[in-house]
Each structure stands twice: as structure tokens, then as C-alpha cells.
């Protein structure tokens, strides 16, 4: 592991050496549901891209699990891409798709709360520590590379402990999105108090920063929809290209996770037959919270033109992301899928069905486990668990 880390530590570079400016053409660029004309909207385009939270390799954070790696260089790129997709969902949820970040400009408190979710500390709910430890339950050792589906499953589990953002995370199965299951999940009643008390025992630390002070509310839970796909065997099948590009045009788009074998990128749009992506393969120094609870965010935004790659060079294993804040957004997404994706008579990129397939196991909306050993705060021993249970009994008296 040390040799791998040292190899990648030396790849820390100045981004401007590798980034290529957008060409001077009459073409249009699509970025997460927004269209830009290169000749007239270039500054707006770059402003939009720089507003996306950019998570890269970091070094010199506290060792994961206490004795694990203190850098994710060489193995954490897909985790960072998952963070970027989730962060975009949170920005849409709290600030709106049209919110823009500007350097040295004061930002709303919600922005800082979102950023705090991803700081590389074990007590931040979507930190590299939490994602790596939750990946153990998905069969991935700490320091092992994740694929798109694995990171989707990790985000789904971690979101259960995030009361402030209160997302419903649906990860499709067998290339099929089931409308009935999503509506059942997003309209689920509030969690029972006994379950909430049980999960509090093992997740008090991270959630202390992420509680929804208004408590659980009834109604539609904002939806993070992730669709893992295999768009070919060894290479992407050209038949899927048009449908794949259409997804970036949808107003609900969160882009896609993918890349090349063992090299993950966060794809946010396209220009012609080139995909536009944010690259996590730059190692930066760990940035901690300041005394006032804010974060120096300059290194969390890519402030130059992003990378591009030919769509045919994409590895066929990808995961699409979409965010639907309200039920009408999901209904609109379903209509767009029916119109733009399912019109294909041959091979379809994925299926959208109304009812839960009869041959599938019953759908049960995910819920917080009462006791866990790999969530917001890893319980390292039975003694620690008993200690927390005794404390809870005292509080209950």
C-alpha cells in the first residue's frame, strides 16, 4: 500500500498544465440540465462548472479507523466522485440548481453545512472515513478501489443516518427503475421513535452536526436516484450513446459516475461526442474546520476549464444520478425517460416500470438499523456498545 501511495503522491500537479480550454465553435454544451452556447455563454458555463463542489484525493487527515491510511491517493477516486454527485444533490436540495459560487463571496449557511458533511473527519457523515468504513459491509477493504455500484450502495446506507438532508436514496436493480417502489419510499412515514433511539446509540457523534432541528416532517422525501448500468462488455455499445447524452439534458440530472478501469471521474455534461468531467486525481492537503465552524473552500472548487474525453473511451460500467426534490420533479423525470430513453426499439439503456416485478423479493424501504458497526461512528468493541447502552438507560429514566 505504501508503494502505491508514494507513486500517486508524486502526481500532485498544477491543473492548468493539463486542462484544455473549450474550442471556439458554434456548438452547445450541456451541464447538469443546463444548455450553454459556446460563443455567447462561455463565461456563464465556466461559472456554472466552478460552482460544483470538487472533491479530490487528500493527504494528512486522521488515519481511517484509527490505524488505517491517512491519504486516499491511489484508491479513493470513486469515493470522491460519489461525494461530488451527492454534494450536487444537496446543493439542489438546499440552494437550488441555479445557485452559483463565487470566490471570496460570502455564502449562505446551508452551503457551509453541506461542505461540512464531506470534510475528511470521522465525525462528518459523508467523509472518506465514513465511506471507506461503510464499504467494508459491501465487501471492500479499506484502501480498496470501489466501482460505481458499490459507491451507490454506500451512499444509500450513509444517507439513513443523515437527518438534516433527509434524502431518500434509491439504487436501481437489474437496470430497472420501479415507480411504485420509489413512491413508497419517498412517502414513507417518519421513523418510529424506538428505531431512532436505537440508532442514536451508535451514530450520535456524526449526527450531532447533521440533525434536522425541525425533526422529521411528513410529505415527499427528496429523492436521490442512482442507476448503475453496464453499457457494453469491454467497451461502451454505440447504441447507448444518444440515450446516455440525453440524461445530461434532464433538469434532474446529477451527471454520472464512471471513467476507465481503476480511474473514476465525475461526468457533468457533454460537448458533441466528448464527455465533460471533474477529475479527482489531484492530491491536496487535508482542510479542517476553522474555529468558527466554517471551511476554507478555495480548494473545493475547480476554477478552470474541466477535462474532456471521447465518449467511446468510457468504461461501460457507469452509474447515472438524478435528483427529484418534489414528487412533480420525479413525475416529470418519468415522462422524459418515456419520451427520450424508452423510445429506443432495440436495446434500452434501462427500463422504467410502474409496478414492482412479481418475481422480485418484496420491496421494503430502507431504514436505519438499531445498532451498527460501520456507520457514522464505528463501534470498535462490545465494551463501548455496553457503555452507550448504559448511558441511554440513564437518559431514559
- Whether 279 is a known active-site residue: answer yes
Per residue in 63-88, pLDDT (tens digit) is: 999 999 999 999 999 999 999 999 99
Confidence of residue 102 (pLDDT cuts 50, 70, 90): confident
Q: Which has more confidence, 244 or 394?
A: 244
What CA–CA distance (Å, rounded) separates 231 from 267?
15
For the chain, domain boundaries: 27-188+220-353
In this structure, are residues 15 and 282 in contact, taking their beta carbons and an 8 Å threshold? yes
* Angstrom distance (rounded) from CA 181 to CA 187: 10
At 293 the three-state DSSP class reads coil
Q: Whole-model pTM?
A: 0.83
Q: What are phi and psi of 37, to 5 degrees?
A: -95, 125
**In whole angstroms, what separates CA 147 from the centre of its chain?**
13
Strands 307-310 and 274-278: antiparallel
Q: pLDDT tens digits for 19-52?
A: 357 777 778 999 999 999 988 898 899 899 999 9
CA atoms of 246 and 7, how far apart (whole Å)? 38
d(CA 48, CA 42): 10
Q: Is 186 a catalytic residue?
A: no
Q: Look at residue 336 in the predicted model and tell me its pLDDT.
A: 96
Rounded Cα distance between 44 and 50, Å, is 10
- Hey, is 100 helix, strand or coil? coil
Mean pLDDT, all residues of the chain: 83
Query: Percentage of the chain surpassing pLDDT 70?
Result: 80
Which residues contact residue 216 at a Cβ distance below 8 angstroms, ignoring those fewer than 6 apart? 163, 166, 190, 191
Per-residue confidence (pLDDT) for residue 169, from 0 to 100: 97
CA distances from 279 to 95, 100, 292, 311 (A): 24, 20, 30, 15
Q: How many CB atoms are located within 10 Å of the residue 137 CB?
A: 14
What CA–CA distance (Å, rounded) separates 276 from 49?
10
pLDDT-derived band at 8, boundaries 50, 70, 90? very low
CA atoms of 274 and 268, how far apart (whole Å):
11
| Annotated catalytic residue within 281, 302, 315, 324 | 281
Angle subtended at Cα 376 by Cα 264 and Cα 262, rounded to the nearest 5 degrees:
15
User: Catalytic one among 48, 72, 279, 315?
Assistant: 279
Confidence class for position 2, pLDDT limits 50, 70, 90: very low
| Separation between Cα atoms, residue 102 and residue 110, nearest integer Å | 15
User: Which run of H or E residues covers position 267?
Assistant: strand 263-271
Residue 7: per-residue pLDDT: 41
* Distance separating alpha carbons of residues 135 and 154, to the nearest angstrom: 6
What are the distances in angstroms from CA 29 to CA 52, 229, 250, 308, 380? 16, 24, 13, 12, 49
Going by DSSP bridges, is the β-strand pair 284-285/307-310 parallel, antiparallel, or unpaired? unpaired
Strand partners, 271: 29, 274
Q: For residue 135, name the pLDDT band (cuts at 50, 70, 90).
A: very high
Q: Which of 121, 51, 53, 119 is nearest to 84 (CA)?
A: 53
Handedness of CA 34, 48, 85, 114 (dihedral sign): negative
Q: What interhelical angle do 148-159 and 77-94 show, nearest 10?
A: 50
352 bridge partner residues: 177
What pLDDT sits at residue 276? 96
Could you confirm whether 92 is annotated as catalytic? no
Amino acid at each position: 500500500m505504501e508503494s502505491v501511495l508514494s507513486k500517486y503522491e508524486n502526481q500532485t500537479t498544477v491543473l492548468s498544465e493539463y486542462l484544455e480550454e473549450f474550442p471556439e465553435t458554434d456548438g452547445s454544451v450541456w451541464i447538469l440540465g443546463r444548455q450553454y452556447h459556446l460563443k455567447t455563454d462561455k463565461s456563464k458555463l465556466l461559472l456554472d462548472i466552478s460552482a460544483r463542489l470538487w472533491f479530490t484525493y487528500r493527504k494528512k487527515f486522521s488515519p481511517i479507523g484509527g490505524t488505517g491510511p491517512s491519504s486516499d491517493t491511489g484508491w479513493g477516486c470513486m469515493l470522491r466522485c460519489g461525494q461530488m454527485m451527492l454534494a450536487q444533490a444537496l446543493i439542489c436540495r438546499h440552494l437550488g440548481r441555479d445557485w452559483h459560487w463565487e470566490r471570496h463571496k460570502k455564502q449562505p449557511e446551508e452551503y457551509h453545512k453541506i461542505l461540512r458533511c464531506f470534510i475528511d473527519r470521522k465525525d462528518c457523515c459523508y467523509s472518506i472515513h465514513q465511506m471507506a468504513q461503510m464499504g467494508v459491509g459491501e465487501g471492500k477493504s479499506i484502501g480498496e478501489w470501489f466501482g460505481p455500484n458499490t459507491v451507490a450502495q454506500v451512499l444509500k446506507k450513509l444517507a439513513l443516518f443523515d437527518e438534516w438532508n433527509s434524502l431518500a436514496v434509491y439504487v436501481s436493480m437489474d437496470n430497472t427503475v420501479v415507480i411504485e417502489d420509489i413512491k413508497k419510499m419517498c412517502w414513507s412515514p417518519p421513523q418510529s421513535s424506538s428505531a431512532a433511539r436505537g440508532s442514536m446509540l451508535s451514530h450520535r457523534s456524526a449526527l450531532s452536526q447533521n440533525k434536522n432541528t425541525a425533526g422529521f416532517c411528513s410529505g415527499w422525501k427528496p429523492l436521490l436516484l442512482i442507476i448503475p448500468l453496464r453499457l457494453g462488455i469491454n467497451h461502451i455499445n454505440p447504441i447507448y450513446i444518444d440515450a446516455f447524452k440525453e440524461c445530461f439534458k434532464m433538469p434532474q440530472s446529477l451527471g454520472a459516475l464512471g471513467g476507465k478501469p481503476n480511474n473514476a471521474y465525475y461526468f457533468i455534461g457533454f460537448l458533441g461526442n466528448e464527455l465533460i468531467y471533474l477529475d479527482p486525481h489531484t492530491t491536496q492537503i487535508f482542510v479542517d474546520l476553522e474555529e468558527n465552524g466554517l471551511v476554507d473552500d478555495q480548494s473545493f472548487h475547480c476554477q478552470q476549464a474541466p477535462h474532456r474525453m471521447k465518449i467511446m473511451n468510457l468504461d461501460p460500467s457507469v452509474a447515472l444520478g438524478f435528483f427529484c426534490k418534489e414528487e412533480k420533479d420525479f413525475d416529470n423525470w418519468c415522462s422524459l425517460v418515456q419520451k427520450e430513453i424508452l423510445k429506443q426499439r432495440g436495446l434500452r439503456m434501462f427500463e422504467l416500470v410502474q409496478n414492482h416485478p412479481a418475481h422480485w423479493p418484496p420491496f421494503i424501504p430502507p431504514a436505519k438499523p438499531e445498532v451498527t458497526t460501520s456507520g457514522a461512528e464505528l463501534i470498535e468493541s462490545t465494551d463501548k456498545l455496553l457503555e452507550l447502552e448504559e448511558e441511554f438507560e440513564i437518559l431514559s429514566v
